Amino acid sequence: MTPRRKTRQVDIGGVLIGGDAPVAVQSMTSTYTFEIDKTVAQIRSLAEAGCDIVRVAVPSKQDTEALPSILEQSPVPIIADVHFHYERALEAVEHGIHKIRLNPGNISDRKQVDRVIAACRGRGIPIRVGVNEGSVVERRDKDIRAAQQTAIAENPRAQLVALMIRTLEDYMRIFDENDFHDVVLSLKSIDARIVIDAYRAASERFDLPMHLGLTHAGPPETGRIRSIASLGTLLAEGIGDTIRISYAADPVFEVDDAKELLCSLGLRPRVEPELIACPTCGRIEIDLIKLVAEVRQKLATIKTPVKVAVMGCVVNGPGEAEGADVAIFAGKGRGIIYVQGQQTRTVSEAEMLDALYEECLAFADRVEKGEVKLSSDAVKIVPPDPLPRADGSTPLSVIK
């Protein structure tokens, strides 16, 4: 892991972005913003899932007029997503929005941008400048557009990245000339490689915080691969101050996966159980896939970051589960449960789920009472191997 790059810090409704602040998780509502009750309900669902900031679309005045009621009820800061009409940005600012998102490809008129900057300065509201591959090519001037398309055709990846950076640099001159620096940058594409290259290039040119994202990622089944490939790479290189994983699905899935990515890279502390499980193979003698799914569902009720391991055999399981607070090794119709390296129970396959959950609940309760500490990846698990060891010794007896 590369140490995170130093960036300016901005305040989005009390959530700090950049500097030494933790990487924040964002998502976006999929409701019509003017449908206030539905929008607020989705914002609350996202916040409960662990989302730090939520963006809402404001394509019409009807949407911006709904903002005061939404802001009053929202548990997290709200960003207004402005695409084609700068007036929506001014209205959102007037109604108390916490941040504005502008797209240089859609709002490029200097006077309009100046007005938005002035309004945001007066209220202390940051602006995200979001460059998208889909809107970066010139639309009005046919000659410029033709030249850009010719260059892109010759070397699509390199030329698109160059065009995104050039667009961003041109747009940022407006902000520099206005002496306005409460800005967050983003450079999105559907191509994971373009996303990586674009953010790398931008991070060398600007000291502003970066909002990471991959646009049009698709459904979770495929979108999470493209998103993690690009955003995980950038985060590991120290690039990124806030993140959104985008799916064509319930946005709560975006939050779940973004949190897991950040936790996996050590950029966000876990606040809920971590479940690990061995891969399926020919040694497994129980329905491991079913058991893991059921355990995952059960663990959702626990709010302590207990590390839980579900292993389908005793060959590699003990080594792979070292560091787990609670682990079960299953085979031949029975399961042996360990709590921080100590055998506690042997149960039948039918009893595994409930027994493991009971042990997790009990351990979590002891953690919350301060009686024990969560493991630090140093728990040594002695294998409950049914076969003689290499040295000829007899396996440990199992607690009945």
CATH number at residue 300: 3.30.413.10
φ, ψ for residue 339 (rounded to 5)? -125, 110
What integer pLDDT is reported at residue 282 of this predicted model? 76
Whether residues 257 and 283 share a domain: the answer is no
**Residue of 215, 253, 222, 241 whose CA lies nearest to 81:** 215
**CA–CA separation, 334 and 350 (whole Å):** 8
Of 239, 264, 289, the last residue of a domain is 264
Q: pTM of the full predicted structure?
A: 0.88
The answer to whether residue 319 is domain-embedded is yes
Q: Note the pLDDT tens digit of each residue in 38-73.
A: 999 999 999 999 999 999 999 999 999 999 999 999
Give me the helix-helix angle, 288-299 and 352-368, nearest 10°: 30
The answer to whether residue 121 is domain-embedded is yes
The answer to whether residue 373 is domain-embedded is no
Whether residues 126 and 259 share a domain: the answer is yes
Of 215, 240, 264, the last residue of a domain is 264
The whole-chain average pLDDT of the chain stands at 89
The answer to whether residue 400 is domain-embedded is no
In this predicted structure, the answer to whether residue 165 has a pLDDT above a threshold of 50 is yes
Q: Note the pLDDT tens digit of each residue in 127-160.
A: 999 888 877 787 778 888 888 888 888 888 999 9
Q: Give the confidence band of 192 by pLDDT, cuts at 50, 70, 90.
A: very high
The answer to whether residue 395 is domain-embedded is no
Cβ(54)–Cβ(74) under 8 Å? yes
Per DSSP bridges, beta strands 53-57 and 242-244 are unpaired
Whether residues 89 and 159 share a domain: the answer is yes
Looking at the structure of the chain, the number of domains it has is 2
The answer to whether residue 179 is domain-embedded is yes
Whether residues 243 and 339 share a domain: the answer is no
Amino acid type, 44: R
The 3-state secondary structure of the chain reads CCCCCCCCCEEECCEEECCCCCCEEEEECCCCCCCHHHHHHHHHHHHHHCCCEEEEECCCHHHHHCHHHHHHHCCCCEEEECCCCHHHHHHHHHCCCCEEEECCCCCCCHHHHHHHHHHHHHHCCCEEEEEEHHHCCCCCCHHHHHHHHHHHHHCHHHHHHHHHHHHHHHHHHHHHHCCCCCEEEEEECCCHHHHHHHHHHHHHHCCCCEEEECCCCCCHHHHHHHHHHHHHHHHHCCCCCEEECCCCCCCHHHHHHHHHHHHHCCCCCCCCCEEEECCCCCCCCCCHHHHHHHHHHHHCCCCCCCEEEEECCCCCHHHHCCCCCEEEEEECCEEEEEECCEEEEEEEHHHHHHHHHHHHHHHHHHHHCCCCCCCCCCCCCCCCCCCCCCCCCCCCCCCC
The answer to whether residue 380 is domain-embedded is no
**Mean pLDDT score, 352-359:** 95
The answer to whether residue 281 is domain-embedded is yes
Whether residues 200 and 338 share a domain: the answer is no
- The CATH number of residue 259's host domain is 3.20.20.20
Of 245, 264, 283, the last residue of a domain is 264
In this predicted structure, the answer to whether residue 187 has a pLDDT above a threshold of 80 is yes
Which one is predicted more confidently, 118 or 341? Answer: 118
Whether residues 299 and 258 share a domain: the answer is no
Whether residues 100 and 231 share a domain: the answer is yes
Whether residues 238 and 306 share a domain: the answer is no
Whether residues 257 and 332 share a domain: the answer is no
Whether residues 241 and 326 share a domain: the answer is no
**Mean pLDDT score, 216-245:** 93
In this predicted structure, the answer to whether residue 389 has a pLDDT above a threshold of 90 is no
Whether residues 254 and 168 share a domain: the answer is yes
In this predicted structure, the answer to whether residue 273 has a pLDDT above a threshold of 50 is yes
Query: By residue range, what is the domain housing residue 306?
Result: 274-368
Whether residues 324 and 305 share a domain: the answer is yes
In this predicted structure, the answer to whether residue 397 has a pLDDT above a threshold of 80 is no
Task: Give the whole-number percent of the chain exceeding pLDDT 70.
Answer: 92
